[in-house]
Amino acid sequence: MFKLTDRNRDVYPWAGVNVELNLSFDNVLMLLELFEDKTVPENTRPSVALNMLVVDKSLVAQLDGARKERFFIDVLRDKLNIDLSSTGKKRNVASGNDDSNDPDIPIVDFVIDAERIFASFLFDYGMNLLEQQGKLTWEEFLALFNNLSDKTPMGIAIHYRTCEIPKKDSTNADERKRIKQMKELYELPEAKAIREQMEYEAYHRRMESQKKLMKR
């Protein structure tokens, strides 16, 4: 949780040691890219990530494999709100599904949306994010990101990624068509794959139900 009174946002107490971290937003974004990099073996990611985050690299070198993995999980959960302990998947602002029975449908991709995010910060705050590299912390970045106005490129994208298509009636054919087109335009590739899989499974369930009815 963002606190205006927190004076040690870059310090993380762990196992009796105050560990200084590099939590600039650009460094954390590079860390998130690491999660998606298939060329980096999963068993080496904790070490790579900790060397990106921890200022004093000698602290990382002192940890054995198990403690390094534990520290990796703890620091991501406590400082970045990314929980790897239960599912092995990152959970943060990028997910828009609160139903635990359905897959998480991403509404933000910090790589794909980089241009929109840059333009949105410039539009709302007059802030050039390239000039803020190494300065703006991840918490500060998220506080600003989560409060972008609906008129920004990112706000518009999120709106169409999350809005529902209205039910069909006698007057809204054009509006339904427009919203469908905009949702397709802004839909993230991962979200599209999840949606298509869910649609296929729903279709399969309908076919199975019809088969059962025909057998009666």
At 150-192, the pLDDT tens digits run: 999 999 999 999 999 999 998 899 999 999 999 999 999 999 9
Is residue 30 in some structural domain?
yes
Is residue 2 in some structural domain?
no
Is residue 164 in some structural domain?
yes
The CA distance from 119 to 126, in Å, is: 9
Is residue 104 in some structural domain?
no
Q: CA dihedral defined by 47, 49, 52, 58, rounded to 10 degrees? A: -30
List the domain range (segments joined by +) for residue 136: 114-215
Is residue 109 in some structural domain?
no
The CA distance from 122 to 62, in Å, is: 42
Is residue 202 in some structural domain?
yes
Choose the final residue of a domain: 80, 96, 131.
80
Choose the final residue of a domain: 36, 54, 80.
80
Q: For the chain, what is the domain count?
A: 2
Are 120 and 73 within one domain? Answer: no
Is residue 86 in some structural domain?
no
pLDDT digits (tens, 9 = 90+) for 6-48: 666 789 999 888 999 999 999 999 998 998 888 988 888 888 9
Is residue 88 in some structural domain?
no
